[in-house]
Amino acid sequence: MKKYLILLLTSLILNASFAQDLKRVQKKYYPNPTVLDLQTPIASKKTGYTSYKEMKKYLNELQQSNDSIMKLSVIGKTQKGKDILLVKLSDSTTSQSKMRVMYFARIHGDEPGGTEGLLYFIDKMTKDNSLKELLNKIDFYILPMVNVDGGEKLTRQTANGIDLNRDQVRLETPEATAIRKLVNETDPHVCIDFHEYQPLKSAYSLLSDEVISVPWDVMFLTSGNPNVSSHIRKSIESLFLENAKTKMEVNDFTSHTYYTPKKTNKGIVMNIGGASPRSTSNTFSLNNAFSILTESRGIGLGRKSIGRRIENVYLLAESFANTVYQQDTALLAALDSAMMQKDPVAVEFVSKKTAQYPLPFINQIKNKMDTLDLDVSNAIESTVTLSRELPVKYLILPDQKYAIETLNKMGVLVDTLSREEVFEVQSFEVRDVEKENTSFKTFTPVKVKTKVRTETKRFPAGTFVIKTDQKRKRLLAVMLEPESSNGFVNYRIIEATQGKELPVFRLMD
Ligand SMILES: [Zn+2]
């Protein structure tokens, strides 16, 4: 009975406060900075956040007074026809080749902290001379608001209901395609995607009788996909994250590796990290760039701690830039080593499952930190269960236009056979096709089992040839191996039929 009363009380408190922190929790753990020299549009607003229109006007004016280092351009249009704005910060008076850093925010429209924080970063870059020194070594490509349509309504998805951070494989939205085009044109060394997470979730009432929330000012989501080069993963961990964590600590912010609840048939399991190529942190790391997704504490908090959230994003942007500035040589060497790696493709892998894993939360009623021992699934520590040698080339039959179009959007280089040729190849016979339980708006993924055979086969003129000695080799291999989670077969870009051969082949020499 007591438990039900507490649950009732919990839900009343959560509903009454619109799932926000209790006041005393805010006061104790999340004070706004006392000094924040904000000159961006939000500074003069009593309610709400910087609108798209305000942002556009502000950036236009800022460019006019800083045209030697700042250039505003348009990388594409949203579904509702809004310009997706790119701010390039670059000092063209220094001639050395620069590191290219891409920052983007508002992939999810209901996460305004990233936009506000990046506008603040841009503003400071134009005013603070010590910050401007970063431009001696770095060109910045900043997209403060990607999902403008969602941003204007403060909704997560784009106008047609697709989640942009689940669309990095099929690239069905003009917004995801525009980001990819920018990445292909600028080839950034670093891609940072600024998000916000929801600290109080109804799922947590299933974990505890108390009202609990996730405490961290920021959580870091890096790629747990075992196909990402170990050189890239190491540098992200030991350089970017180490510096960012220190930066957080000395400024009285807290940080942690990303965790989030997932409802399963065995109850709530906490997912740590992530490995799915459909989301940015993985797809851009597979692309051979240093890629991190940051999750600042924001959704559901209204404007309560907005100053703190802006400062948080700003400090992260500054920290990542400083790491690039100080470690440019080491980072370039790591990218070179990543290119040389010829590891097998990890086709299937499973996250490490642990019971009774301690994870910290805030007990909102008692106003103190609590640790819960929970079931976790850790994507950062996964075990590979199926791997294959990286082929020299993949061959794809000429009728697979959707696959080729998607590879082109991803910046993968594709050749075609000018005449019929015979090769000895590895082919995939589809043994089993099973629909997954979760559907997306436009498709239901499938799981396949295949048998690999070696055969001598005649390929017609027009067959697509994809060499794997190219920059995006890890990404394209993950996309083309049929059992890959989020790959082209799983995501229905290439259709599999039971008992038939797949239109994808591996050429081993
Ligand atoms: Zn998000």
pLDDT, one tens digit per residue, over 275-311 is 999 999 899 999 999 999 999 999 999 888 999 999 9
Query: What's the whole-number mean pLDDT along residues 440-465?
Result: 97
Query: What's the whole-number mean pLDDT along residues 180-196?
Result: 97
What residues flank ion ligand 1 with Cβ within 5 A?
108, 111, 195
Residue 409, both tokens: 């959007």
CA of 114 to the centre of ligand 1 (A): 10
- Out of 3.40.630.10, 3.30.2270.10, 3.30.70.1070, 3.30.465.10, the CATH code matching 23-342 is 3.40.630.10
The pLDDT, as a whole number, for residue 164 is: 92
Residue 35, both tokens: 């000094």
Distance from C-alpha of 303 to C-alpha of 320, rounded to nearest angstrom: 26
Among all chains, which residue has been given the structure tokens 């508002």? 106
The pLDDT, as a whole number, for residue 18 is: 44
Calculate what percentage of the chain has a pLDDT beyond 70. Answer: 96
CA of 380 to the centre of ligand 1 (A): 19
The pLDDT, as a whole number, for residue 13 is: 53
The pLDDT, as a whole number, for residue 23 is: 92
CA of 252 to the centre of ligand 1 (A): 24
Segment 375-386, tens digit of pLDDT: 999 999 999 999
Residues 184-208, buried b or exposed e (16+ Cβ, 10 A)?
Answer: eebebbbbbbbbbbbbbbeebbebe
From the list 372, 28, 26, 376, the residue with the least C-alpha distance to 210 is 372
CA of 128 to the centre of ligand 1 (A): 30
Segment 110-158, tens digit of pLDDT: 999 999 999 999 999 999 999 999 999 999 999 999 999 999 999 999 9
Question: Does the pLDDT of residue 392 top 80, yes or no?
Answer: yes
Residue 95's pLDDT band (boundaries 50, 70, 90)?
Answer: confident
Question: Does the pLDDT of residue 1 top 80, yes or no?
Answer: no
DSSP characters for 35-99? Answer: -----SGGGG-SSS---HHHHHHHHHHHHHHTTTTEEEEEEEE-TTSPEEEEEEE--TTS-S--E
CA of 194 to the centre of ligand 1 (A): 8
Question: Does the pLDDT of residue 8 top 60, yes or no?
Answer: no
CA of 430 to the centre of ligand 1 (A): 36
CA of 168 to the centre of ligand 1 (A): 14
CA of 156 to the centre of ligand 1 (A): 7
The pLDDT, as a whole number, for residue 4 is: 55
CA of 26 to the centre of ligand 1 (A): 22
Segment 238-251, tens digit of pLDDT: 999 999 999 999 99
Query: What's the whole-number mean pLDDT along residues 82-96?
Result: 92
Among all chains, which residue has been given the structure tokens 């920052």? 103
DSSP 8-state class, residue 344: P
Sorted by where each begins, the domain ranges of the chain are: 23-342, 390-507
Alpha-carbon separation of residue 332 from 98, 290, 428 (angstroms): 11, 10, 37
CA of 164 to the centre of ligand 1 (A): 9
Average pLDDT, the chain: 94
The pLDDT, as a whole number, for residue 313 is: 98
The pLDDT, as a whole number, for residue 16 is: 42
Residue 3's pLDDT band (boundaries 50, 70, 90)?
Answer: low
The pLDDT, as a whole number, for residue 92 is: 87
Distance from C-alpha of 59 to C-alpha of 73, rounded to nearest angstrom: 10
Residue 17's pLDDT band (boundaries 50, 70, 90)?
Answer: very low
Calculate what percentage of the chain has a pLDDT beyond 90. Answer: 88
